[in-house]
Structure 1
Amino acid sequence: MSALPVSARPMSVFDGLEERLADLRSSGLYREFTPCSYLAEQPGHAMHRGARVQVWCTNDYLGMSQNTQVMHAQVASTLQHGTGNGGSRNIAGTSEAHVELETRLAAWHGKARALIFTSGYVANFETLTTLLAAVPDMVVFSDSLNHRSLIEGIRASKNRRHIFPHNDIAALDDMLGQYPVEQPKLIVFESVYSMDGDIAPITEICDLAERHNAMTYLDETHAIGVNGPSGAGICEEIGEHRATFVQGVFGKAVGTTGGYVAGPDTALDYVRSHAPGFIFTTTIPRSSLDATLRSLDVIQGAAGAELRLKLRENAALMRSLLREARIDFIDAPTHLVPVLVPGGERVKRISRRLLDEYGIYVQPINFPSVAKGGERFRVTVAPFRTRADIEGFVRALRACLDDLR
């Protein structure tokens, strides 16, 4: 049978997607991915299309993914246990390392239980959707700048929800006050907001939670490993232990992969027993968990404290040099340095020139990750960066800004 002429073929349900992709490209919002293969022997560097480049936007804040102890732990575990677990947590996929790590994480955050997920996104989405479905009259109060994983976890539920202005305690207080004390409530927020590098008023929010009989769900993603005497996050740093749930990840400062939630025993046992994204997915390999355990050994000890100090010093030096070069940035109280480069096309052109001419890779951040007009680079300055490295980055950025005004 001969094929139908193009004009006679039935219309595909996907025919309109190319037009929508074209609209995305014309608006400057089409996402480009820059392939880079990290070099373990040269931290902060990667191979990109045959050339060695510096990476200034990684979330591997402490360089732990290239830490010798961590790498050796993963290699040794792989040789002993293989490359995968071959199953979900409830079907031959739970290793002794899962149990050890979950116990250790719960103790780290002073909680009764912890659950490991395949990523921080999955940890947030599955925990929130499962708990909110279990308590349908729970009212959710979400910070307006929360991460997409938190937003989608809340949206997937049918629970009533309120979005309060970013870090606005008075507005949150008013919203909570609209409901009786006995009404179940959950406040969802982050400790460090990565796009601006600012910190939530955690103690004040916990005070409100106590006053209005609400629970709290705190995402410490960008603070884990970086803040606190042992790297447990902002809560540990300020001595605040009232958050009901604490979420964290391994894929940033810990340098491995996965995410977790720590909190009350019964609530997380319920999530363990009902969350589809926990039950019906292949779990993290034993070798990665053994690497995570070794990474925590470093992070929680004296070496981790030295790395955190150096990270802070480097971020402060970067801000000082940016200020001298008259480059706009958000002077945040964290290790993150958001450099403001307004204009969707402009920020992409500067990023491309930095990469092509200076061998510097820094990803442009634009809408919807930030508001239009708030385009930026989210610069990270790992402990292994030298003063010469930082000076070179600022010089290159200044040159590109001057040429592409």
Structure 2
Amino acid sequence: MYNDTFFHTLQYLKSTEAYRHFLEFSRSAGHFPLADYQNEKIEVWCSNDYLGMGQDQQVINDFKASLSRYGAGSGGSRNISGNTLAHVALEKRLADLYQRESALVFNNGYLANTESLGVLVGLFDNIKVYSDELNHRSIIEGLKKSKVEKYIFKHNDLKHLEIGLSLEPFERPKIIVFESIYSMDGDFAPVEEIVRLAKKYNALTFIDETHSFGVLGERGLGLIEALQVRDIDFIQGGFGKAIGTTGGFIVGDRDAVDCIRSLAPGFIFTTSLPPALLEATLTSINKVVAAPGRRKKLFLNVRHLKAALRRHQIDFIDAESHILPIIIPGLARIKAVSDKLLKQFKIYVQPINYPSVPRGQERFRVTVTPDHSLEQIERFASALKSALDLS
């Protein structure tokens, strides 16, 4: 009976094109964007390590040195022996960078969203949540934790958002939840306009800066820094993208963040991240903040890649960010293109399919980095054109 359920569930996933396949390969320190796959070198074109900081030698060296000092793990949850000086130092640094009163580190960005939002919307009687329809699953799950009224506004649609806000009394608690960069299309949120509406209708604001932290802004603090927007109540971010390690965080006012720290079960009942990892994360953040060179090289390579794709007449979503989505409808076709790129050209780019994107909107989410050479960029565009023509 039990095995039948497992079997039929998997059969259903496969029949509806929702079954996920994972490529097994090994990153090669110091050789990014190259990786080892079946005793050969392949080029990675879909990594979230946007700046290649996971391969940075100083980050690696500090990770090793910290590992020798502290050991492999933290020893417990934050409230039971796992609240190390490394955790406190990283949180203080984040709060100082954003000029906010407090910060809190989570084991990953998913938890930072689900746990923070779960607590925040549960604190207020009769709060109404306004959430962009393309928000990440972690945001959706966090908002589900409390049975509050939700208004899902059309993606980046300010008129639709304002209609929903205007329906409620000024005094009713409200929170607007959105992302700075939407990772499947690479587009920006209209942050300044959302903040203006929040002020007009007495709403809190919560922004997910996961895909812009480290990439945008004078110091790499994200889209709100690039736009010089200060009036955001809660800023969420992660270390698993441009910072090159793992973990997530939230920053905001002291009492609000302390409520999250005190009430979020996914924070309270979880073994904290290893202190060595957090010291390596702090090293990476400090390097990214101090030197804009890799961010500039990233966007220079983005421009080169867009130009190469245009020369080969390959359509892509020309968004403002560093993410280049290439729509290739149909799971069978995009998988064939991906397989050809890997087998013939030693290029790895992962198909994105349902439920991450709607059926018929399958795509490659291409990410060039500062470490991709001009030759590799040209070769990628040429190989993709060949694979598309033969699919």
Partner of 1:263: 252
The corresponding residue for 2:335 is 348
> d(CA) in 2 for partners of 1:317 and 1:177?
44
Instruction: Write the deviation string for residues 143-184 of structure 1: whole angstroms up to 9, x where unpaired.
Output: 000000001111221111010000000100000111100000
Q: Does 1:391 align with 2:378?
A: yes
Q: Which moved more, 1:70-79 or 1:106-115?
A: 106-115
Displacement of 1:378 after TM fit? 0.5
Pairwise CA distance, 1:70: 0.4
In the other structure, the counterpart of 1:7 is none
> Partners of 2:196 and 2:58 in 1: how far apart?
41
Distance 1:188 1:336 in 2: 21
Indicate the SS of the match to 1:93: coil
- Within the alignment, does 1:25 sit opposite 2:14 as a pair? yes
SS at match of 1:186: strand
Which residue identity lines up with residue 19 of structure 1 in the other structure? Answer: H
Q: Does 1:35 align with 2:24?
A: yes
Question: Counterparts of 1:94-243 in structure 2 under 5 Å?
Answer: 94-243=83-232
CA positional deviation for 1:27: 2.4
Please give the alpha-carbon distance, in whole angstroms, between the structure 2 residues aligned to 1:175 and 1:159.
Answer: 15
Query: Rg larger in 1 or in 2?
Result: 1
What is the CA-CA distance between 1:51 and the residue it aligns to?
Answer: 2.1
Take 1:155 and 1:276, find their aligned partners in 2: how far apart are those partners? 15
Query: How far does residue 65 in structure 1 lie from its aligned partner after superposition?
Result: 0.2
Question: What percentage of residue pairs aligned between the two structures are identical?
Answer: 47
**d(CA) in 2 for partners of 1:15, 1:132:** 40
1:3 aligns with: none
1:78-127 deviation per Cα after TM superposition (whole angstroms, max 9, x unaligned)? 01111111100011101111111101111212221100000000000001
3-state SS of 1:373 partner: coil
Kindly state the Cα deviation for residue 384 of structure 1 after the two structures are TM-superposed: 1.0
Q: How does 1:293-304 map to 2 (within 5 A)?
A: 293-302=282-291
**Cα displacement (A) at 1:343:** 1.1
Does the CA contact (< 8 Å) of 1:136 and 1:158 recur in 2?
no
The two structures have a TM-score, normalised by structure 2, of 0.98
Partner residue, 1:6: none
Shifted more, 134-143 versus 275-284: the winner is 134-143
Deviation at 1:47, TM superposition (A): 1.4
Query: 1:242-281 to 2 correspondence within 5 Å?
Result: 242-281=231-270
For 2:360 and 2:35, the matched residues in 1 are separated by 30
1:297 CA displacement: 1.5
Contact preservation (8 Å) 1:29, 1:344 = no
Amino acid paired to 2:294: L
1:315 aligns with 2:302: yes
For the 8 Å contact 1:28–1:345, the answer to whether it is kept is: no
- What is the CA-CA distance between 1:137 and the residue it aligns to? 1.4
Conserved? CA contact 1:198–1:332, under 8 Å: yes
Q: Is residue 91 of structure 1 aligned with residue 104 of structure 2? A: no
Give distance in 1, aligned partners of 2:13 and 2:248. 31
Question: Runs of at least 4 residues of structure 1 off by over 3 A?
Answer: none
Considering only aligned residues, what root-mean-square deviation do their CA atoms show, in Å? Answer: 1.0
Match of 2:64 among 53, 57, 75: 75
Does the 8 Å CA contact 2:43/2:347 hold for their aligned counterparts? yes
Structure 2, unpaired ranges of 5+: none
